[in-house]
Amino acid sequence: MSSCDGVSLSILVARTDVSFLRRTIPHIVKSSAYPFKERALVVDTAPLSPEYASRPHVGSRQELDEICNGLVADGWVDRLHYIDYARTEIDRIYSTYFRQRLRETHDFRGYPIYGSLWPLEVAPTDHVVHFDSDMLLHQDQGRSWIDEAVDVLKRRADIIFVAPLSGPPRSDGKLFQGSTAYEADADGFNKFKFFTSRKYLVDRRKLRSMGLKPRWISKKRRLASLWTGVSALWSFEMMASDQLERLGLWRADLSDPRTWTLHTPDHGPEFLRRLPVM
């Protein structure tokens, strides 16, 4: 697809998300406060792996469609992109980013690899902001982390992904990064070799140029996958992180404390009770 000036917003949704989509999508859009060229929900309708199918509050395809169409009708997003699982389309996307064909569309847990790349190619702009649908975003009024991120991507050839600060700012200046190593950069961000796919801004042209290489759990699991059909690939996160390390490239998390994100793996009653109401 040809590009045009601007930035697009892409939010990945699936049946696992139906319990909170009506609250998180408006929150992400409103908190971003950005004139996106397009605001899209990328709807993954692939069969769920056992790990994801066993999670609580998994909705039906009908529920997912009704919620997504309602968010379009209410003006929170502009359109729905249903991931196209045609084999020709899978081969096209993988040839673009991996320079080869792959059979698997998801990693060993069932999280999308192809579905993380396909949305970048259907966006109407080269700069794309991605959010997982369970992310929360704080941004002070008048602040634009996206404008700053686009500027970083344009100025710095060594930066592939840019994201806001993870977690609320701490008085001691420490980051909510656990044991993940990072370096402070004089340009106003912290840089990482590890890529997180939960939220980021990317210039797809830079990601295409960087490329990706398949990473298998083990030779034994890869061989078994040929018989069982169960993926033996590591995640999109791990494969992108591998390339950052190989090529001397980075993910940048902006240091400005006026914008930050939250993510919780617990989507239970307390999470739902505390979600913002638009």
Question: What are the structural domains, with CATH classification, of the chain?
Answer: 4-265 (3.90.550.10)
pLDDT at residue 62 in the model = 97
Per-residue CA distances from 214 to 100, 222, 224, 226 (Å): 9, 11, 16, 15
Count other C-beta atoms under 10 Å from residue 55's C-beta: 11
pLDDT at residue 2 in the model = 40
List of the chain residues with pLDDT < 70 = 1-4, 178-179
Is 63:97 a contact under the CB 8 Å cutoff? no
Burial (CB count <10 Å: 0-12, 13-18, 19+), residue 86: exposed
pLDDT at residue 179 in the model = 63
Is 276:30 a contact under the CB 8 Å cutoff? no
Q: What is the Cα–Cα distance from 124 to 91, expressed in whole angstroms?
A: 21
pLDDT at residue 178 in the model = 64
Q: What radius of gyration, in Å, describes the C-alpha atoms of the chain? A: 18
Q: What is the Cα–Cα distance from 238 to 80, expressed in whole angstroms?
A: 28
- Beta carbons within 8 Å of 118's beta carbon, 6+ residues apart: 42, 83, 84, 89, 93
Q: What is the pTM of this model?
A: 0.94
pLDDT at residue 180 in the model = 76
